[in-house]
Amino acid sequence: MRDSSPMGEFLRARREALKPQDIGLPVHGRRRVPGLRREEVALLAGVSSDYYMRLEQGRETGPSPQVVDAIAAALHLDDEALDHLRRLTRAPHERPGIPAAPSPVSPQLLQLLEGWSDTPAFVLGPALDVLAHNALAAALHSGFEKFDNLARMVFLDPAGRTFHQEWEKAAHSCVAEIRAAYGYEPESPAITAVVGTLSAKSPEFAALWARHEVRGKTRQPKHLAHPEVGALEIRFSAFTVNDAPHQQLVVYQAEPASATAAAFAELRAMGRAPQSAGLA
């Protein structure tokens, strides 16, 4: 018998994060558990309490799509969280999987990075490892000890606290993105290594990881502060690499004729040659 499963851990975390008043349930007296009770979720989803308990405990791992959708509605999951839950219900052989070793960045993509001299661009793996970057991306992150893994840089590098003017937002984003990748392959060695290191060294990361929040990259602007060129307002786009589905191409952009565009011009003088980056 298993104590739980990736799906069970996700359900329990999301149940505990949801308060009765969030879904219109009355609260009478002191409650012994945080969030909703198992029987409350089961009632809302139209399944038995015993069946729902088995899902959380990992003794039941194959709920039907209808049950998954009903539980998602009971837990008020958004579309990204629902997709994540659906992935967690798949048997290992049904998941697309993440390679044990990261796929090399293709020569064509490296050439593309090299050709972008006016905008920072880099390639990420599923655990936010920086697999390759261009010279301007290196200059942008020159205040860090290493430009190797975005989550490590946010949580463990002292420069992360000043570089990210909205540090808490950046921290939540990193954890939610890794959690989204985790849904594709819970046993991924790359994700396991990064999560293990950060959980051991950063209580803040460990607390956020335990919340099981899921979110891909958003289009919201980033507010950064470079130690030499000052404040930056970055807009960015992220693209899936078709021939390496678990790689993302991230491109930072500045509004034309803005202070950030002028700062990018200064940073170009600090650039290094494009290179592949090692894993965290």
Average pLDDT over residues 108-124: 93
pLDDT at 170: 95
Q: What percent of the chain has pLDDT over 70?
A: 88
pLDDT at 90: 84
Q: What is the pLDDT of residues 186-241, one digit of tens each?
A: 888 989 999 999 999 999 999 999 999 998 766 778 999 999 999 999 998 999 88
Q: Was domain 6-94 assigned CATH 1.10.260.40?
A: yes
The length of the chain is 280
CATH 1.10.260.40 domain span(s) along the chain? 6-94
Q: What is the pLDDT of residues 163-196, one digit of tens each?
A: 999 999 999 999 999 999 999 888 889 899 999 9
List, in sequence order, every residue forming a beta bridge with 149; answer none if it has no partner: 129
Supply the pTM of this predicted model. Answer: 0.87
What type of residue sits at position 44? Answer: L
Distances (CA, A) of 3 to 90, 150, 175: 19, 32, 24
CA-CA distance, 18 to 67, in Å (whole number)? 19
Q: What is the pLDDT of residues 129-161, one digit of tens each?
A: 999 999 999 999 999 999 999 999 999 999 999
Q: Which pair of structure tokens corresponds to residue 106?
A: 């293709």
pLDDT at 274: 42
CATH 3.30.450.180 domain span(s) along the chain? 107-276
pLDDT band at 162 (very low <50, low <70, confident <90, very high): very high
Q: Was domain 107-276 assigned CATH 3.90.550.10?
A: no
CB atoms within 10 A of CB 62: 10
Q: Is the pLDDT of residue 94 over 90?
A: no
What type of residue sits at position 27? Answer: V
Average pLDDT over residues 264-273: 75
Helical packing angle, 38-45 and 65-74, nearest 10°: 120
